[in-house]
């Protein structure tokens, strides 16, 4: 039996054992145990939060059903736009992270006075509050990038009339369900959960469309790369939320160009955590990755040598397995260029690709390559060749920055 088969067999055995083992779990994650918000509705509302649960989550049920299945104690928190489950342990703050985390914790302490910004240990309750804050920051940043407000999306239950502009199916960028994040400690537990919930035996981070609830989910485990480091995990969560936000924008009804997905996700991750980087890959294939933190020089070298992928090539990428490091550096840099130099054009491009419907009201994901090419003309005033030249000239003027 291969090592891969052994891992799969172990995951299946764990999946069978989990419910019985979970019955005796202590209720450490009972919402009343939170030492920061105390599950007080007034404090939660003041902090822009909803509750520590229970609430709907995943495909088959709610947070209670996930608790009944998993061995880990999952600490749940619902914010205005997200539902988060944190099934990982406490974290000891390193000297390198101290100042950054103090700033984040000080923001939390404005609404939750029992938070100590100088703490050296992030317990599970504090971590889930921290990730809710980070997730909401990413949500607000995406709103800025698409140049929209909450009022630009329909309210729950609001019916769309064929013939009027399509804005999506709900208030969360166009989705009816909130964006879900589940963080688990081990690969085995993540595989068991994904198999039980979605019928998938995926060993890496997985994004999933929960059609039944019109929600987009990402499930992550810490036995990948450097994710045991808090800031690496933060960046990884933002990277995957960026993908799901773009999918959900004006509703997830069809797939959009991969170059733009990956470039946007890199951009949002690196704005916050440039020290670590996430790379997508298809299941069964390894992503081409790099520990290089300085991406501006890498993109500049590609432009200077003439080896940077052209837009005409990028639009034809059909799988993340096709991405090389040159693609990752270039797609990030091109999104960086668009956001910094053409923010209105970038927002226009994203809107042109999403929320397309036919005359009868059904989603229209056909001919997106033509839509994409036309959007470069109407939104940016450039052909692909002109865009390649404009980006290459711009990146040659850039130096590495941290902003």
Q: CB under 8 Å to 146, separation ≥6 — which residues?
A: 173, 249, 347, 350, 351
Q: 124-146 and 230-248 helices cross at what angle (nearest 10)? A: 40
Own/partner pairs, 110-114, CB within 8 angstroms, 24+ separation: 111/43, 111/46, 111/47, 111/48, 112/36, 112/37, 112/43, 112/47, 114/35, 114/36, 114/38
230-248 and 258-272 helices cross at what angle (nearest 10)?
Answer: 140
Q: What is the mean pLDDT of residues 7-18?
A: 37
- Other CB atoms closer than 10 Å to residue 315's CB: what's the count? 17
pLDDT for residue 181 is more than 80: yes
Residue 290: predicted pLDDT: 67
**Confidence check: pLDDT of 325 > 60:** yes
CA proximity to 135, closest of 175, 85, 90? 85
Distance, in Å, from the CA atom of 43 to the CA atom of 272, rounded to the nearest integer, reads: 27
According to DSSP, the residues that pair with 210 across neighbouring strands are 215
Of the pLDDT bands very low, low, confident and very high (cuts 50, 70, 90), residue 281 is confident
Query: Could you tell me the pTM of the whole model?
Result: 0.92
Length of the chain (residues): 403
Picking from 2, 8, 18, the residue whose alpha carbon sits closest to that of residue 187 is: 8
Q: pLDDT tens across 140-175, in order?
A: 999 999 999 999 999 988 888 888 889 999 999 999
- Number of other residues whose CB lies within 10 A of the CB of residue 200: 15
CA–CA distances in Å: residue 359 to residues 162, 164, 356 = 8, 10, 10
Q: Which residue has the tokens 């980070």?
A: 134
Higher local confidence (pLDDT), 180 or 165:
180
Question: Would you state the pLDDT for residue 157?
Answer: 84
pLDDT-derived band of residue 44, with 50, 70 and 90 as boundaries?
very high
Per-residue model confidence (pLDDT) at position 160: 84
For residue 402, give Cα distances in angstroms to 58, 274, 277.
36, 8, 14
Of 313, 310, 328, the closest CA to residue 386 belongs to: 310
345-373 pLDDT, tens per residue?
999 999 999 999 999 999 999 999 999 99
pLDDT of residue 242: 98
Percent of the chain at pLDDT above 90? 84
Q: Is the pLDDT of residue 7 over 90?
A: no
Are β-strands 121-122 and 179-184 bridged in parallel, bridged antiparallel, or unpaired?
A: unpaired
Q: What is the average pLDDT across 326-353?
A: 98
Ranking 3-12, 77-86, 313-322 by mean pLDDT, the lowest is 3-12
Whole-angstrom distance, CA of residue 253 vs CA of residue 266 = 23
| Average pLDDT estimate for 236-255 | 98
Task: Check pLDDT > 60 for residue 52.
Answer: yes
Q: What are phi and psi of 220, to 5 degrees?
A: -130, 145
Q: Is the pLDDT of residue 71 over 70?
A: yes
Angle at alpha carbon of residue 80, lines to 170 and 123, rounded to 5°: 140
Judge whether residue 18 has pLDDT over 80. Answer: no
Q: Which three-class secondary structure string do you get for the chain?
A: CCHHHHHHHHHHHHHHHHHHHHCCCCCCCCHHHCCCCCCCHHHHHHCCEEECCCCEECCCEEHHHHHHHCCCCCEEEEECCEEEEEECCCEECCCCCHHHHHHHHHHHHCCCCCCCCCCCEECHHHHHHHHHHHHHHHHHHHHHHHCCCHHHCCCCCCCCCCCCCCCCCCCECCECCCEEEEEECCHHHHHHHHHHHHCCCCCCCEEEEEHHHCEEEEEEECCCCCCCCHHHHHHHHHHHHHHHHHHHCCCCCCCCCHHHHHHHHHHHHHHHCCCCCCCCCCCCCCCCCCCCCCHHHHHHHHHHHCCCCCHHHHCCCCCHHHCCHHHHHHHHHHHHHHHHHCHHHHHHHHHHHCCCECCCCCECCCCHHHHHHHHHHHHHCCCHHHHHHHHHHHHCCCCCCCC
Mean pLDDT of 282-302: 76
Domain parsing of the chain, residue ranges: 19-252, 254-403
């Amino acid at each position: 039996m291969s090592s891969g088969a052994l891992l799969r067999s172990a995951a299946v055995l764990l999946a069978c054992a989990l419910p019985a083992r979970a019955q005796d779990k202590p209720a450490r994650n009972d919402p009343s145990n939170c030492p920061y918000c105390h599950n007080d509705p007034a404090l939660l509302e003041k902090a822009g939060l909803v509750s520590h649960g229970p609430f709907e989550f995943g495909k088959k049920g709610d947070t209670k059903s996930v608790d009944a299945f998993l061995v880990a104690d999952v600490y749940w928190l619902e914010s205005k736009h997200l539902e988060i489950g944190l099934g990982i342990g406490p974290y000891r703050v390193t000297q390198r992270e101290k100042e950054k985390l103090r700033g984040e914790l000080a923001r939390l302490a404005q609404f939750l006075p029992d938070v100590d910004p100088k703490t050296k240990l992030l317990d599970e309750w504090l971590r889930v509050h921290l990730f809710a804050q980070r997730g909401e920051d990413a949500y607000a940043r995406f709103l800025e990038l698409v140049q929209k407000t909450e009022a630009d999306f329909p309210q729950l239950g609001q019916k769309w009339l064929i013939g009027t502009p399509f804005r999506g199916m709900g208030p969360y960028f166009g989705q009816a369900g909130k964006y879900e994040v589940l963080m688990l400690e081990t690969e085995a537990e993540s595989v068991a959960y994904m198999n039980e919930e979605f019928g998938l035996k995926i060993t890496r981070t997985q994004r999933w469309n929960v059609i039944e609830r019109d929600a987009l989910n990402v499930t992550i485990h810490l036995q990948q790369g450097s994710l045991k480091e808090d800031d690496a995990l933060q960046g990884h969560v933002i990277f995957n939320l960026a993908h799901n936000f773009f999918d959900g924008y004006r509703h997830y009804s069809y797939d959009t160009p991969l170059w733009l997905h990956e470039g946007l996700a890199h951009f949002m991750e690196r704005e916050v955590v440039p020290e670590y980087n996430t790379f997508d890959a298809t299941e069964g294939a390894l992503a081409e990755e790099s520990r290089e933190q300085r991406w501006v020089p890498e993109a500049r070298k590609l432009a200077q040598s003439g080896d940077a992928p052209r837009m005409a090539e990028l639009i034809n990428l059909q799988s993340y397995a096709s991405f090389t490091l040159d693609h990752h550096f270039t797609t990030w840099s091109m999104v960086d260029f668009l956001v910094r130099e053409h923010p209105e054009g970038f927002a226009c491009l994203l809107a042109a690709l999403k929320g397309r419907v036919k005359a009868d009201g059904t989603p229209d994901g056909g001919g997106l390559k033509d839509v994409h090419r036309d959007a470069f003309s109407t939104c940016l005033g450039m052909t692909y060749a002109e865009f390649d030249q404009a980006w290459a000239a711009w990146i040659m003027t850039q130096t590495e920055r941290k902003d």
